Amino acid sequence: MPSVLLTENFDKVVRRWLMTVQDYALFCWQTIANVFRTPHYWSDIFTQSDLIGVGSVPIVVLTGFFTGGVLALQSAASLAQFGAQAYTGRFVSLSMIRELAPVLTGLMVSGRNASGMASELGSMVVTEQIDAMRALGTDPMKKLVTPRMISTVVALFLLTVIADTLGTAGGASVAVFISHLDGAQYFSSAYQALVYSDIIQGLTKPLVFGFIIATIGCYKGMRTTGGTQGVGRSTTQAVVISSVLIIFSDFLISRVMLWLFPPL
Amino acid sequence: MTETASPSPFASTADPLACVPDSPLCFQDVSLRFGARTLLDSISFTLRPGETRILLGLAGMGKSVLLKLANGLIRPDSGEIFLFGQSIATMPEPALLNLRRRTGMIFQESALFDSLTVRDNVAWQLIERGISNEVIDRRVHRALSFVDLDDTFSLYPPSLSGGMRRRVSIARAIIDKPDLILYDSPTGGLDPVTSHTINELVIKERDAYKTPAILVTHRLQDAFTMVTHRFDHDANAMVPLPRGSFDPLTSFMVLHESHLLFDGSTDELLSSKDPFLKDFLA
């Protein structure tokens, strides 16, 4: 008897999970399709770009700089054991540009903006503002979701470039002022190590991560139920799910990129 | 049981012919379930041009849900809903958005957009249509004057009282001269003085523009104020009708236990022998 109950519950959980995945897939499709449909809410796109992009610059600058710094600190100590401290720049730039800048920027923006989107849209749902918008003849997907998706994708791309730059600069600061390495050698090593596939890999990731952050944040917000408690639940779930998906998709993109551009 | 008396001009019937072509809203055998619970079962009625229907019922009987069904915010499980002569039960959302622009809806908790000023809230539909700011400002001032709130033009909704928010939402609903107005408990949660102001506005709108409307409420006092008063434009206030007479274009529907228990005129409601209605009106 308990095994029957367990199977029934498992069946329900799997069915509900599949329904959610299907619903999310349709939500994403509608979000993308709306990019090519009128009306386009340009002012909302610019407002959201300011909130998401410009608003996230301080945390991305600090995260990028100190991550680059700590990479240089750790790698210089390890490389020194083999007399290879000159490779510090190479280590820092490859790590930052391929992996750490896109992933950490994605996680930071996810924590700041996926939660913001879920709570804002969730509050609008529970106070019937979304219904009011539909009653006034406006499509909330076009007005609220698509502008956030476009803004997040563009902003995360640019924020990752900032994190790449600041990470390399942070590594240089540590290498020069703490490890007492030659600055020119650091930058030369950092530059020569990079090939186009590294740049492509590092700049493809934020496009995917930005899409994940915006669609998960908006999806959780638009599907909020259960009043103010539900808003809190949606906010937490948006951050957790988008963060996990960022890490997971990072693995997939890295695998595909290594297949497309095998290391020489 | 639906108690419908044939002499009433508002008699409800499941006959498809009841949906006359100029009827702004018509329900035919509409049913809706939420999980295992049947919320609405075989609801049929027709709203005629210029008519105001007051939808009464206990809390949780599905009055607000019926209102959301009326403009397609919720889809029925079965039955047909005709909004301005078009079937909306299975209409795609983009087509529904166009149709909804012809309706005005006042939500229970106002549902104003907190991040926008009163001006932008009221002007929402005009802004969406790309109308010039000059025209928008003029029309917003006119709509706000109608609800006597012209001085709130630049304020944000959180700084308004509950009654003021409700009045702003009425201004937002009527600014584009809708062909149908749906009021969801416009006086719910308000003090008697503010409720009186809102009732006056609803009566003013009804008598000034003759817009067909459905008004949901569980407050009998408000419902009977609607049928026993008219708006006096000279006095700019609502005044009682002669004793014993009721507004001829305002009638009642009562929802009870998933069914439309009553659909008829004020006289018919007051003379009903139904035990629940007698108890409800007592």
Q: A109 CB contacts (<8 Å, ≥6 apart)?
A: A52, A56, A60, A152, A155, A156, A159, A209, A210, A213
User: Residue A137: its chain B contacts at CB < 8 A?
Assistant: 97-98, 100-101, 125, 128
User: Residue A127: its chain B contacts at CB < 8 A?
Assistant: 109, 111, 114
Res B18: pLDDT: 59
Nearest to B109 among A127, A135, A139 (CB): A127
Whether A1 contacts chain B with CB within 8 A: no
**Residue B7 in this model has a pLDDT that exceeds 90:** no
Q: How far is A123 from chain B (nearest CA, A)?
A: 10
Average pLDDT, integer, range A93-116: 95
Contact B100 A132 (CB under 8 A): no
- Protein fold of B1-84+181-282: Rossmann fold (3.40.50)
Res A7: pLDDT: 76
Contact B128 A132 (CB under 8 A): no
**Residue A199 in this model has a pLDDT that exceeds 80:** yes
Contact B107 A39 (CB under 8 A): no
Res B190: pLDDT: 85
Contact A134 B100 (CB under 8 A): yes
Res A193: pLDDT: 87
Whether B155 contacts chain A with CB within 8 A: no
Q: Three-class SS of residue A51? A: helix
Whether B219 contacts chain A with CB within 8 A: no
Nearest to A139 among B97, B112, B172 (CB): B97
User: Residue A132: its chain B contacts at CB < 8 A?
Assistant: 105, 107, 111-113
Backbone torsion region of residue B118, taken as left when φ is above 0, otherwise alpha when ψ lies between -120 and 50, otherwise beta: alpha
Contact B111 A128 (CB under 8 A): yes
What global pTM score does this model have?
Answer: 0.88
The model's pLDDT over A205-228, given as tens digits with 9 standing for 90+, comes to: 999 999 999 999 999 999 999 999
Res B13: pLDDT: 46
Contact A139 B101 (CB under 8 A): no
Residue closest to A261 by CA, chosen among A195, A172, A174:
A195
Domain residue ranges of chain A, discontinuous segments joined by +: 2-260
Whether B234 contacts chain A with CB within 8 A: no
The tokens for B216 are: 């949901």
Whether B237 contacts chain A with CB within 8 A: no
Average per-residue pLDDT in chain A?
A: 93
What span, in angstroms and rounded, lies between the C-alpha atoms of B69 and A4? 40
Domain residue ranges of chain B, discontinuous segments joined by +: 1-84+181-282, 105-178
The model's pLDDT over B59-80, given as tens digits with 9 standing for 90+, comes to: 888 999 999 999 999 999 999 9
Average pLDDT, integer, range B105-123: 95
The model's pLDDT over B165-208, given as tens digits with 9 standing for 90+, comes to: 999 999 999 999 999 999 999 988 888 888 999 999 999 999 98
Whether A12 contacts chain B with CB within 8 A: no
Whether B34 contacts chain A with CB within 8 A: no
Contact A139 B105 (CB under 8 A): no
- In chain A, positions 36-75, which contact chain B (CB-CB < 8 Å)? 39
Whether A136 contacts chain B with CB within 8 A: yes
The model's pLDDT over A51-65, given as tens digits with 9 standing for 90+, comes to: 999 999 999 999 999
Q: How far is B95 from chain A (nearest CA, A)?
A: 10
Three-state secondary structure string covering chain B = CCECCCCCCCCCCCCHHHCCCCCCEEEEEEEEEECCEEEEEEEEEEECCCCEEEEEECCCCCHHHHHHHHCCCCCCCEEEEEECCEECCCCCHHHHHHHHCCEEEECCCCCCCCCCCHHHHHCHHHHHCCCCHHHHHHHHHHHHHHCCCHHHCCCCHHHCCHHHHHHHHHHHHHCCCCCEEEEECCCCCCCHHHHHHHHHHHHHHHHHHCCCEEEECCCHHHHHHHHHEEEECCCCEEEECCCCCCCCCEEEEEEECCEEEEEECHHHHHCCCCHHHHHHHC
- Residue in chain A nearest B116 by alpha carbon: A129
The model's pLDDT over A222-253, given as tens digits with 9 standing for 90+, comes to: 999 999 999 999 999 999 999 999 999 999 99
Contact A137 B97 (CB under 8 A): yes
User: Residue A138: its chain B contacts at CB < 8 A?
Assistant: 97, 124, 128
Neighbours of A223 (CB within 10 A): 18
What span, in angstroms and rounded, lies between the C-alpha atoms of B204 and B198? 10
Interface ipTM > 0.90 = no
The tokens for A197 are: 């596939």
Nearest to A137 among B100, B112, B172 (CB): B100
